[in-house]
Amino acid sequence: MNVRQFTAALAKSLQAVYPEREAQAIAALVVEHLLDMDSMQRMMDAQEPVVEAAIEALAPLQARLLAHEPVQYVLGTAYFEEMALEVTPATLIPRPETEELVRVINQELGSRSGLRVLDVGTGSGCLALALARSLPGAEVLAVDISAEALAVARRNAARYAPEVKFEQVDILAALPTGIAPGTLGVLVSNPPYVRESEQPLMRENVLAWEPATALFVPNEDPLLFYRRLAEVGRVLLCSGGGIYLEINEALGKETAALLSPDDFEGVQVLPDMFGKSRVVRGVRR
């Protein structure tokens, strides 16, 4: 069996649980992982024979994929801002849409050095690490309620941004230590925002595998994290400091309204690459 046949056979099997194009994309990732090659090598070596060890190693991975486990968890890696990050079921899988937060912050603040940055609900650490790498001299603190997620984030930081600091904090109940009021330059967060009523719209590989505490909020109070983040911003952000929040696309106006004009100016709801409302940003007065 050559590389092309190996990939095609896996893709065909995965069509039992994924649409054809997605099955093909997942198969390509798995084959590249097993054969230790990038996409260009896989295409150039399409006619090369696959070693028996790789064929044997595929079986347990294929079984996990057919059980709807996300390929990022199966391979242990997700890509974000040119970083290959470790992910586990203790962390959300970073999405391309979340890179919009990094893009907006870099556009607005990339020329300022020495900013103090707080990432709330860091998960894998994707936002904190990306900003530590892109903002000159930034002092970055990442917090999460989950000790398991923080362990993953620390391992990612050791590889990509060892200067990032971490703290276990329940942001709904407490503030991080070590950040004096009025000294924060950037508050960024991708908090839980999926309403429980939206679960039927979600795919099984998300519902069954990704951490529910990082995804869902009660139907009766879907903005509880944003209300708290607005309060955190009022306390910790310096004048001219920015707040940047990933949001539920259906609740853009409601989320933006939490950033009171008495405390924040320039509040905007910004679209993602698909034209959906994805980011709310504002500047502390």
pLDDT in tens, 172-213: 999 999 899 999 999 999 999 999 999 888 888 888 899 998
Q: Is residue 73 part of a domain?
A: no
Q: Give pTM, 2 decimals.
A: 0.94
Domain encompassing residue 179:
90-284
Residues 140 and 264 in one domain: yes
Q: What is the pLDDT of residue 207?
A: 87
Residues 139 and 225 in one domain: yes
Residues 103 and 175 in one domain: yes
Residues 178 and 228 in one domain: yes
Q: Is residue 11 part of a domain?
A: yes
Q: Is residue 83 part of a domain?
A: no
Q: Is residue 80 part of a domain?
A: no
Q: Is residue 81 part of a domain?
A: no
Residues 18 and 139 in one domain: no
Q: What is the pLDDT of residue 204?
A: 83
- Say how many Å lie between the first and final Cα of the chain, rounded: 64
Binned at pLDDT 50, 70 and 90, residue 31 comes out as very high
Beta bridge partners of 167: 143
- What total number of domains does the chain contain? 2
Please tell me the distance from the alpha carbon of residue 65 to that of residue 22, in angstroms, as a whole number.
Answer: 12
Can you tell me which residue has the tokens 């698909």? 274
pLDDT at 266 over 90: yes
Please tell me the distance from the alpha carbon of residue 260 to that of residue 215, in angstroms, as a whole number.
Answer: 25
> Which tokens is 242 given?
């920015």
> Which tokens is 104 given?
């907006």
Residues 23 and 115 in one domain: no
One-letter identity of residue 53: A
Residues 24 and 98 in one domain: no
Greater model confidence, 202 or 219: 219
Q: What is the mean pLDDT of the chain?
A: 96
pLDDT 10s digits, 9-25: 999 999 999 999 999 99
Residues 15 and 107 in one domain: no
Q: Is residue 47 part of a domain?
A: yes
CATH number at residue 162: 3.40.50.150
